[in-house]
Amino acid sequence: MPPATASELDPAIAARLKRDAAGLVVAVVQQHDSGEVLMVGWMDDEALHRTLTTGRATYWSRSRQQYWVKGETSGHAQHVKSVALDCDGDALLVKVDQIGPACHTGERTCFDAAPLEVRS
């Protein structure tokens, strides 16, 4: 669970967020020019504040229990072009310019696996 510290996130934005029990909102990450869906991450108020004020995608790592800036160690940075909140306030769409692969496996996208069969 993210630290329960005060964030400098604009109160008007914070009021629109519907967080899960851990205080997080899902962030769907998309390549800004092609529309390719790259990955899903998690943000709390502070991660969103850092993302909006630095232009670098910042997430809360649920496994490591810490903030991480995408590309800080790998060099595979995400330069944020825009952030939008969905109509329910429970998801963010983060449009980025992705440098290198987005997935920790080394693939361009985390959704590069074989598609699941859909029966109609």
Q: Homologous superfamily of 11-98 in CATH? A: Phosphoribosyl-AMP cyclohydrolase (3.10.20.810)
Q: What torsion do the CA atoms of 17, 33, 70, 109 make, to the nearest 10 degrees?
A: 100
Mean pLDDT (the chain, rounded): 94
Q: Domain coordinates of the chain in residue numbers?
A: 11-98
Whether the pLDDT of residue 50 is over 80: the answer is: yes
Reported confidence tier of residue 114, pLDDT bands at 50, 70, 90: confident
- Give pTM, 2 decimals: 0.91
Distance CA 88, CA 92 (A): 10
Distance CA 29, CA 106 (A): 16
